[in-house]
């Protein structure tokens, strides 16, 4: 609301400029007083309210374009750390020609909703390197589940995908007992896991992910990154495919220049 008020104030000033310019072409005694100019501007806006809506929409569009450009610049500058941290789980084709990044939470209903589509995308394409950003923002159960998954990736990586899938398909809470049951059923050595969850690398990885999310303006899950484009929210499989195609085209164009 404050930005809109600020914009309206700016609009009023801009609208007075032509009148002020006109007055400068006359003698000083003919100049309109400030109060009269403000009245004219106010009456014009009241009689033509649509121009305010049009101006606000244009203003917001410009601000959004600036924000998107800033995000792309940030993405470019942090591309390597974002996509190539060895502590981040990777599924799909580790040698794929396109890296897709997902920020997710095991207790996020929308993450679970798009999970089947993510798997379809990875399976149907076959050339996507898919980076999983454990981003536990929905409470202690989320943190515990992500800590367990991160530990499995670091120390029992061959079991990660099965464990990750089991937790994404789970409905209901993810208390400690449930997480360990899902891990055991996924072939994880849970006795070793309990010790491995204390690995300090896990917290460092979480902290790095939080800083990346903050820099990119990501505050919720899921959030996807295809190339240098961010897609927040539970996007459809069709959108995922479109963004995959677009990201590859941009990458090929860049390589050809």
pLDDT, tens only, 30-39? 577 888 888 8
Of 34, 51, 77, which closes a domain?
Answer: 77
Instruction: Classify strands 128-134 and 223-226 as parallel, antiparallel or unpaired.
Output: unpaired
Q: What is the CA radius of gyration of the chain?
A: 26
**75-102 per-position pLDDT tens digit:** 776 878 899 999 999 999 999 999 999 9
Same domain, 118 and 65: no
Residues 196 and 114 in one domain: yes
- Residue 168: domain span: 86-256
Same domain, 51 and 154: no
- Say whether both 68 and 6 belong to one domain: yes
Residues 18, 117, single domain; the answer is no
Same domain, 123 and 169: yes
In angstroms, rounded to a whole number, what is the distance separating the alpha carbons of residues 159 and 89? 11
Q: What pLDDT digit, counting tens, does each position of 189-243 carry?
A: 999 999 999 999 999 999 999 999 999 989 999 999 998 888 999 999 999 999 9
- Ramachandran bin of 172, using left for φ above 0, alpha for ψ from -120 to 50, beta for the remaining angles: left
**In the 3-class helix/strand/coil scheme, how is 166-220 assigned residue by residue?**
HHHHCCCCCCHHHHHHHHHHCCCCHHHHHHHCCCHHHHHHHHHHHHHHHHHCCCC
pTM as predicted: 0.73
Residues 214 and 134 in one domain: yes
Please indicate, yes or no, whether residues 99 and 222 belong to a single structural domain of this protein.
yes
User: Quick one: what percent of the chain has pLDDT higher than 70?
Assistant: 86
Tell me the C-alpha distance between 10 and 200, whole Å: 51
CA nearest neighbour of 89 among 152, 41, 32, 45: 152
Q: How many structural domains compose the chain?
A: 2
For residues 164 and 134, membership in a common domain is answered with yes
Q: Which of 77, 105, 128 lies at the terminal end of a domain, its last residue? A: 77
Closest by CA to 115, choosing from 131, 127, 129, 102, is: 102
């Amino acid at each position: 609301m404050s930005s809109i008020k600020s914009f309206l104030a700016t609009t009023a000033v801009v609208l007075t400029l032509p009148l002020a310019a006109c007055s400068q072409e006359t003698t000083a005694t003919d100049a309109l007083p400030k109060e009269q100019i403000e009245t004219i501007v106010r009456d014009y806006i009241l009689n033509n309210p649509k121009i305010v809506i049009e101006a606000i929409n244009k203003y917001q569009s410009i601000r959004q374009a600036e924000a998107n450009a800033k995000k792309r610049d940030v993405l470019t500058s942090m591309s390597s750390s974002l996509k190539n941290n060895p502590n981040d789980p990777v599924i799909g084709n580790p040698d794929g020609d396109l890296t897709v990044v997902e920020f997710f939470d095991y207790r996020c209903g929308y993450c679970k909703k798009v999970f089947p589509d993510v798997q379809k995308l990875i399976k149907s394409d076959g050339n996507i390197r898919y980076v999983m950003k454990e981003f536990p923002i929905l409470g202690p159960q989320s943190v515990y589940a992500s800590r367990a998954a991160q530990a499995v990736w670091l120390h029992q990586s061959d079991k990660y995908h099965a464990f990750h899938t089991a937790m994404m398909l789970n409905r209901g809470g993810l208390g400690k007992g449930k997480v360990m049951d899902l891990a055991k059923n996924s072939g994880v050595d849970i006795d070793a896991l309990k010790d491995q969850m204390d690995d300090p690398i896990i917290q460092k990885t979480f902290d790095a992910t939080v800083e990346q999310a903050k820099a990119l303006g990501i505050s919720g899950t899921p959030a996807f990154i295809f190339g240098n484009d961010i897609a927040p929210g539970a996007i459809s499989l069709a959108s995922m495919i479109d963004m995959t195609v677009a990201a590859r085209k941009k990458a090929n164009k860049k390589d050809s220049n």
